[in-house]
Amino acid sequence: MLAWQIFRRIAQMGLGVVGTMLMATVVAAGTDELVLRDEGQETRLSIAALRDQADERFTLYDPFEAADVAMRGLVFRDFLVEHFGEVPEALAFEAWDEYRVTLEGWDDPDWILVTHQNGEPLTLRDRGPLRLVERDYGDRDPENLRGFNDWIWMIRSIEAVP
Amino acid sequence: MTTPRPWRRHAGWLWLSLMSFTTLLILITYETRWVYPEIHAYFSQTGNLTGQQLATRSRDYLQEGLGVLLEAPDDEAAREQAAFRVDLAYSLFDIGLYRREYACTEPSLDSLDGLSRRLSAGDVLTPAELNRHLLGPIGCLTEIEMDQLDRRSEVTSAFVEDTRRHQGVVLGGSLVIFLMGLVFWWMHERQRRNAVRATRESLRWMGRALRDPLTGVGNRSALHEDVMAQTGQAMSLMLIDIDYFKQYNDTLGHPDGDRLLRRLALLIDESLAGQARLYRMGGDEFAALLPCHDGCGLARRCEEITERLREAAIAHPGHPENRCVTLSIGAACFIAGEAGFAAGYAAADRALYRVKEHGRNGWEASEGEDAQANRVDANQA
């Protein structure tokens, strides 16, 4: 009985938080596209097409999985040059979990836009459908997950910031 | 073997001092540029999304999904949104660290997987079923959050303690380096002052080496140096010898002889109106060095000295030919320089010799082609 009361209280708290978020009407159906924005123009790329183009394969120790993971994806710098004409100074990312961040320093072939993990396409549950990882993260301690905050998950849109 | 220059001898302390202060500067720069940003990086994520625990974010999504389902359990769109949030929660829950360290993680993920499948299949879930699917994962996530917070508190405390210890070490080290710098600087300053004192002492001794201690006028070395310093200039040299000085000493004693030397040095200097530099060349011989502009007028100057001496009428009881002290003077002009000085000195010496040969108490001046002389008859005195 006590457990049910706690459960109801948690649910009520959740309702309060979600009230405004429901207006955003985020639906899982949209996760099959990546939105690119550059100088006011919007381009939508099919995630399936990106998965087909992914030709970069490597295995690394994923700090979040705490295991060696076989990954497949695209060299992010080449991807940017292909779709933005150059590597923008900074990029604003929006993720499916409402995370938004603007970061610089993408002219680096180490960054991979991952589409597959252990042979399977990334889904929302795998922190996909697209995820940015560093192929070589040097001597950073994989036990300290805060050191990998710039590995952006569940990428929904990318905007070039001049 | 060469001796190091004075500034090099004490430059070592200066360098050590400068190195100490430079090290201090580097240490402060390092602390400012690297250590404090590291502290900032550690605490700066507090308050933003990445600063939250993944477990917290996962629990939030489960609560949101639960809220959606409780509000409209029969609505298909609500079920889709709830399923979306459960998947987000799953992705943030399915972390290697959580699986490894919290036993409740695996069954909770299985439970969420079952819930997600039922939502995708369009099942309408009762509150009891939601309870069964979500209570376990939410409880597990809460446990993870609490434990992670405890761990973070421990890490933060350790970090703060480390930082405090580090700052203590840096402060102590800075103080030591600063004091070392001051000590090295003080050593450098002390050595520099010693070097300056030694240099002054050397110069004083060098000055003494060029002076006649009895009369205070220059000596033979000083004459040579002064002539060499005027190389190329027309000059004149007077060699002045005290007649029968030995007899003066023998008669009146050496203390009186010394007094006579001092008195004559003063008299000659006054006679030449301070325009000549005076030197004592030996026991009873003086030399006077004069500039020689537009003809030296040596004869007039010799005459002035002789006249002044005559007026002074200094008694000389041992003089075989006179009652007073008399002088023999030989003078010559020359062009300053090694060869010119040697020639001038020889000419003045020859002139002096001739005066002495003719009975002393007189002078002879040689100015170029001209030679003038005046010899006092012994009977005049």
Residues sharing a CB contact under 8 Å with residue B184, sequence separation 6 or more, in sequence order: B13, B14, B16, B17, B20
pLDDT score of B277: 92
Q: Is B210 exposed, middle or buried (0-12, 13-18, 19+ CB in 10 A)?
A: middle
Given a contact cutoff of 8 angstroms between Cβ atoms, the answer to whether B302 and B329 are in contact is yes
Q: Chain B: give the shortest CA distance to residue A60, in Å.
A: 14
Chain segment B100-120, per-residue pLDDT in tens? 999 999 999 999 999 999 998
pLDDT score of B66: 92
Q: Chain A: give the shortest CA distance to residue B72, in Å.
A: 11
Render A46-83 in DSSP notation, one character per residue.
EHHHHHHH--EEEEEEETTTTEEEEEEEEEHHHHHHHH
Cβ contacts from A onto B, under 8 A: 97
How sure is the predictor about B368, in pLDDT bands with cuts at 50, 70 and 90? low
pLDDT score of B275: 86
CATH topology of domain B220-380: Alpha-Beta Plaits (3.30.70)
Q: To the nearest whole number, what is the mean pLDDT of chain B? A: 86
A151 alpha carbon, distance to own chain's centre: 7
Q: Is B119 exposed, middle or buried (0-12, 13-18, 19+ CB in 10 A)?
A: buried
Chain segment B149-194, per-residue pLDDT in tens? 898 888 888 888 888 888 888 888 888 988 988 898 998 889 889 9
Chain segment B190-203, per-residue pLDDT in tens? 988 998 999 999 88
How sure is the predictor about B209, in pLDDT bands with cuts at 50, 70 and 90? confident
pLDDT score of A131: 96
Question: What's the whole-number mean pLDDT along residues A11-27?
Answer: 44
pLDDT score of B2: 46
Q: To the nearest whole number, what is the mean pLDDT of chain A? A: 85
Question: What's the whole-number mean pLDDT along residues B216-242?
Answer: 92
CA distance A90 to B244: 108
List the single residue in A18, A65, A154 with the smallest CB-CB distance to B64: A18
Please give the ipTM for the structure prediction. Answer: 0.82
B202 alpha carbon, distance to own chain's centre: 23
CA distance A146 to B97: 13
CA distance A50 to A47: 5
Residue A148: list chain B partners with CB under 8 A.
none
Min mean pLDDT across A13-27, B20-34, B268-282, B367-381 is at A13-27
Question: What's the whole-number mean pLDDT along residues B306-310?
Answer: 93
How sure is the predictor about B211, in pLDDT bands with cuts at 50, 70 and 90? confident
The top-scoring range by mean pLDDT among B13-27, B29-43, B185-199, B366-380 is B185-199
Min mean pLDDT across B16-25, B45-54, B74-83, B278-287 is at B45-54
Query: Does position A20 have pLDDT exceeding 60, yes or no?
Result: no
Q: Which H or E run contains B303?
A: helix B298-312
Q: Chain A: give the shortest CA distance to residue B94, in Å.
A: 8
How sure is the predictor about B42, in pLDDT bands with cuts at 50, 70 and 90? low
Q: What percent of chain B shows pLDDT beyond 90? A: 49
Query: Does position B259 have pLDDT exceeding 60, yes or no?
Result: yes
**CA-closest candidate to residue B190, choices B9, B2, B4, B5:** B9
Question: What's the whole-number mean pLDDT along residues B58-85?
Answer: 91
Query: Does position B25 have pLDDT exceeding 70, yes or no?
Result: yes
Return the residue of B nearest to A28 by Cα.
B84
List the single residue in A4, A14, A125 with the smallest CB-CB distance to B67: A14
Chain segment A30-57, per-residue pLDDT in tens? 689 999 999 989 999 999 999 999 999 9
B225 alpha carbon, distance to own chain's centre: 34
**Domains of chain A by range and CATH?**
34-137+149-161 (3.90.420.10)
How sure is the predictor about B9, in pLDDT bands with cuts at 50, 70 and 90? low
Question: What's the whole-number mean pLDDT along residues B321-347?
Answer: 92
What residue type is B125 in one-letter code?
A: L
How sure is the predictor about B380, in pLDDT bands with cuts at 50, 70 and 90? very low
Chain segment B117-144, per-residue pLDDT in tens? 999 888 888 888 998 999 999 999 999 9
Min mean pLDDT across A1-15, A65-79, B87-101, B236-250 is at A1-15
Residue A26: list chain B partners with CB under 8 A.
81, 84
pLDDT score of A26: 47
Query: Does position A107 have pLDDT exceeding 90, yes or no?
Result: yes
- Quick check: A153 and B134 CB within 8 A? no
Return the residue of B nearest to A12 by Cα.
B67
Q: What percent of chain B shows pLDDT beyond 70? A: 89
